[in-house]
């Protein structure tokens, strides 16, 4: 069965780890009739946590997709991991959804990952709501958690449902929007009942706030609400639809997913008020980098974005797609614009976790799967017409943790590389590359957990033993004062010889400026046709500096004089002369080592602030600033890369596993003294080892 754009809802369920996201996903599918039985995490049989590593570890690692249908509306749900190590799966789900539902533990309140996810949603203005879970816990408190959300995010959540009781006395929830009560029925879906008399005043108060929130969506409704003090049920729904689509309100839901509590009112709200794809836009980039906002329109030619790639042992390669415009049909032909190749779409599927369900078509706004694609990969644009434009790639964070790897058995190195390339295709926050400078294969990811899971999977499935170690740092060299040198390359071998003389001057440039070559030759001392050879020689000379043979950066080189021979001179002669002249000049220019400095942002509970600041100080970090709100602190610092190679492990130890961080390259900075001596010594040992091999 296919669904029109207006009858589709896409919901990404996200939040901090252990807040009940997978349980909520499972109970939504169960209550919606998509599955016959709701499983628990402990059973290892939930619809979304179906991979071997998820079953063993009892955590979500991958995004999962499932859907239900009610009253002719299809609701796609994306279940996402809670660990920051797998944030890429959350971001792709946010991209594919028009509404994000953040699960918040009714006992713990807002936690660090929820703060980070909220900020991510702020960058796109994505509509979002909160589902306060685990209200059957004796220490849970719905109103306290709402207050926590208000304090941390500076929003006024609008309660769509209210709990009836708390802790062990939780009986169910009240649907404020539809004025119905739903009671817990054990393993069965909740049952509709009349609102208890003692709670009618609380419901009336919540409903008045809901009217006020709905009025935010429409000026006419706001006028009517101010004049009359009330809105009709239909007017409330109309206002909520507009206000939510424009991210003006944050609906809040109460419940205990494990007890099927709060599920039906959530589904009803999604159908009535959650944004449909027509309210959203995606971004397309043309060949010149110009960005254009594209509406989800089923009447335009088909276009879609590949949001995820996975490999299944039975179905092979699975390309997850979000249809942006038009209609994608099975047994059709399209163009992979990113690869400029034709793509045959033979079969289309939706899914319930790992179970594929074949469909004939997917309309704009829907999500589905293409199997065994010849060319598609994550971030590719598929379209029926090649316009030369493609959809903006997923905005993913840079990896924060790296290790160098190699197979214990050298014969397995190529095979290991193949599976690491595939892992990088499945998770775009995981990177694999060979560093020619340090002669290492390096893998990078969002944390130690993500990397260990990938390596364990390769070990268990492919029987490849892998060695890991801390990767070498790519240092640089530069100069700190001006100098000059001349060099004559002269070689006579019978017949034509080799001759070239150059005189150069070098000077330091500002950090980050790289390299500048100036031709200051006058009077034809070196013919113009040999100048390219001179520059090639300079560039070759910069490959290996004079201190520790690291690449040289931020240097201006001026060729000021030289001499040539009418018979023996050629480009090679001037290249060799320039290379040696540069090396001589650098020795006289007070060279220094440079180390990469990283921008670090740490998210922690305030109680760990002192320990984290002290640790960063011990890592030669420079604190740039900090912010605190509602018990969560954000610390910004600049720290040498060499001090951060094990930071994911260090921070986990300091914060009992609750802290997280982002990191990206900032600049190179000079190092000297013992630190520089150690770097030079280690580099010399590496060069000796490299020569022996």
User: Over 60-114, what HEC string results?
Assistant: CCCCEEEEEEECCEEEEEEECCCCHHHHHHHHHHHHHCCEEEEEEECCCECCHHH
- 113/187 same-domain check: yes
Cβ within 8 Å of residue 153, ≥6 positions away: 110, 118, 250
Q: For residue 483, list its beta bridge partners.
A: 506
Residue 301 falls in which region: left (phi positive, over 0), alpha (psi -120 to 50) or beta: beta
Contact (Cβ atoms closer than 8 angstroms) between residue 338 and residue 380 = yes
Residue reference for tokens 């809040």: 252
- 38/186 same-domain check: yes
Spell 48-82 as b/e; 16+ CB within 10 A means b.
bbebebbeeeebbbbbbbbbbeeeebbbbbbbbbb
Contact (Cβ atoms closer than 8 angstroms) between residue 643 and residue 596 = no
Tell me, rounded to whole angstroms, the distance of Cα 300 from its chain centroid: 30
Q: What is the DSSP letter of 140?
A: -
The CATH number given to whatever domain includes residue 563 is 3.30.230.10
Q: For residue 320, list its beta bridge partners.
A: 308, 369
Structure tokens at 36: 């016959």
Q: Is residue 383 part of a domain?
A: yes
| Three-state secondary-structure class, residue 185 | strand
Residue ending a domain, among 259, 279, 299, is 279
Dihedral pair phi/psi, residue 337, rounded to 5°: -65, -35
Q: Is residue 651 part of a domain?
A: yes
Round to whole Å and give the CA distance between 465 and 553.
Answer: 38
Number of domains into which the chain is organized: 5
Round to whole Å and give the CA distance between 218 and 242.
Answer: 7
- 108/254 same-domain check: yes
- 35/164 same-domain check: yes
Round to whole Å and give the CA distance between 654 and 386.
Answer: 52
Contact (Cβ atoms closer than 8 angstroms) between residue 433 and residue 420 = no
Dihedral pair phi/psi, residue 134, rounded to 5°: 55, 35
- 265/294 same-domain check: no
Specify the pLDDT at position 690. Answer: 74
- E strand or H helix at 543, and its extent? helix 531-543
Contact (Cβ atoms closer than 8 angstroms) between residue 62 and residue 50 = no
Round to whole Å and give the CA distance between 11 and 101.
Answer: 7
- 185/267 same-domain check: yes
Per run of 10 residues, the mean pLDDT along the chain (length 693 residues) is 95 97 98 96 94 93 97 98 95 98 97 92 96 97 96 94 94 96 96 95 95 91 90 93 96 97 98 96 93 96 97 91 98 95 96 96 98 95 93 94 96 96 96 91 95 95 96 96 97 82 97 95 92 97 94 97 94 96 97 97 94 97 90 94 95 92 94 93 84 65
Tell me which residue range forms the domain holding 130: 5-194+249-279
Tell me, rounded to whole angstroms, the distance of Cα 691 from its chain centroid: 40
Nearest CA-CA partner of 480 in 581, 590, 588: 590
- 458/578 same-domain check: no
The CATH number given to whatever domain includes residue 161 is 3.40.50.300
Specify the pLDDT at position 387. Answer: 86
- 200-215 helix and 219-228 helix, angle to the nearest 10 degrees: 140
């Amino acid at each position: 069965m296919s669904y029109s754009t207006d009858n589709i809802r896409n919901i990404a369920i996200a939040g901090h780890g252990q807040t009940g996201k997978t349980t909520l996903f499972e109970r939504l599918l169960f209550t919606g009739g998509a599955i016959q039985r709701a499983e628990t995490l402990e059973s290892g049989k939930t619809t979304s946590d179906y991979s071997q590593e998820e079953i063993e570890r009892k955590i979500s690692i991958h995004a999962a997709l499932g859907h239900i249908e009610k009253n002719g509306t299809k609701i796609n749900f994306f279940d996402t991991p809670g660990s920051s190590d797998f944030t890429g799966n959350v971001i792709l789900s946010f991209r594919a959804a028009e509404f994000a539902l953040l699960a918040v533990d009714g006992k713990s309140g807002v936690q660090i990952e929820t703060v980070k996810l909220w900020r991510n949603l702020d960058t796109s203005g994505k509509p979002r709501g909160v589902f306060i879970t685990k209200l059957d816990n004796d220490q849970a408190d719905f109103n306290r958690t709402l207050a926590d959300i208000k304090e941390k995010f500076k929003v006024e959540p609008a309660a769509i449902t209210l709990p009836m009781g708390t802790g062990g006395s939780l009986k169910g929830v009240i649907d404020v929007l539809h004025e119905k009560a739903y009671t817990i029925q054990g393993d069965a879906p909740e049952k509709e009942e009349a609102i208890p008399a003692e709670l009618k005043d609380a419901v009336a108060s919540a409903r008045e706030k809901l009217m006020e929130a709905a009025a935010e969506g429409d000026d006419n409704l706001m006028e009517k609400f101010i004049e009359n003090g009330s809105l009709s049920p239909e007017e409330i729904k109309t206002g909520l639809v507009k206000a939510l689509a424009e991210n003006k309100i944050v609906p809040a839901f109460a419940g205990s997913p494990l007890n099927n509590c709060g599920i039906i009112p959530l589904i009803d709200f999604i159908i009535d008020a959650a944004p449909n794809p027509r309210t959203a836009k995606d971004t397309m980039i043309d060949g010149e980098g110009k960005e254009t906002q594209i509406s989800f329109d089923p009447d335009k030619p088909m276009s879609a974005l590949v949001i995820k790639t996975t490999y299944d042992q039975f179905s092979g390669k699975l390309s997850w797609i979000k249809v942006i415009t038009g209609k994608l049909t099975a047994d059709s032909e399209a163009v992979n614009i990113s690869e400029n190749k034709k793509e045959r779409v033979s079969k289309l599927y939706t899914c319930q976790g790992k179970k594929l369900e074949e469909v004939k078509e997917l309309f704009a706004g829907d999500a589905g799967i293409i199997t065994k694609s010849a060319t598609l990969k994550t971030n590719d644009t598929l379209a029926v017409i090649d316009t030369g434009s493609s959809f903006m790639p997923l905005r993913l964070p840079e990896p924060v943790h790296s290790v160098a790897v190699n197979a214990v058995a050298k014969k397995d190195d190529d095979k290991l590389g193949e599976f690491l390339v595939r892992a990088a295709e499945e998770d775009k926050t995981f990177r694999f590359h060979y560093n020619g400078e340090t002669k290492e294969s390096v893998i990078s990811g969002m944390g130690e957990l993500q990397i260990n899971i990938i390596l364990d999977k390769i070990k268990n499935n492919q029987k490849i033993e892998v060695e890991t170690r801390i990767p070498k740092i790519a240092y640089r060299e530069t100069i700190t004062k001006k100098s000059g040198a001349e060099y004559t390359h002269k070689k006579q071998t019978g017949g034509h010889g080799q001759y070239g003389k150059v005189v150069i001057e070098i000077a330091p440039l500002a950090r980050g400026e790289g390299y500048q070559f100036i031709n200051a030759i006058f009077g034809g001392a070196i013919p113009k046709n040999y100048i390219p050879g001179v520059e090639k020689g300079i560039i070759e000379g910069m490959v290996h500096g004079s201190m520790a043979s690291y690449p040289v950066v931020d240097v201006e080189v001026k060729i000021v004089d030289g001499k040539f021979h009418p018979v023996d001179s050629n480009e090679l002669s001037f290249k060799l002369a320039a290379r040696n002249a540069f090396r001589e000049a650098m020795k006289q220019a007070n060279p220094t080592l440079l180390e990469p400095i990283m921008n670090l942002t740490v998210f922690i509970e305030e109680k760990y602030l002192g320990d984290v600041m002290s640790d960063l100080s011990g890592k030669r970090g420079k604190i740039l600033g900090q912010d605190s709100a509602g018990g969560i602190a954000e610390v910004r610092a600049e720290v040498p890369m060499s001090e951060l190679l094990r930071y994911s492990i260090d921070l986990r130890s300091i914060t009992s596993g609750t802290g997280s961080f982002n990191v990206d390259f900032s600049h190179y900075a000079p190092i000297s003294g013992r630190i520089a001596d150690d770097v030079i010594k280690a580099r010399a040992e590496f060069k000796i080892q490299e020569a022996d091999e």
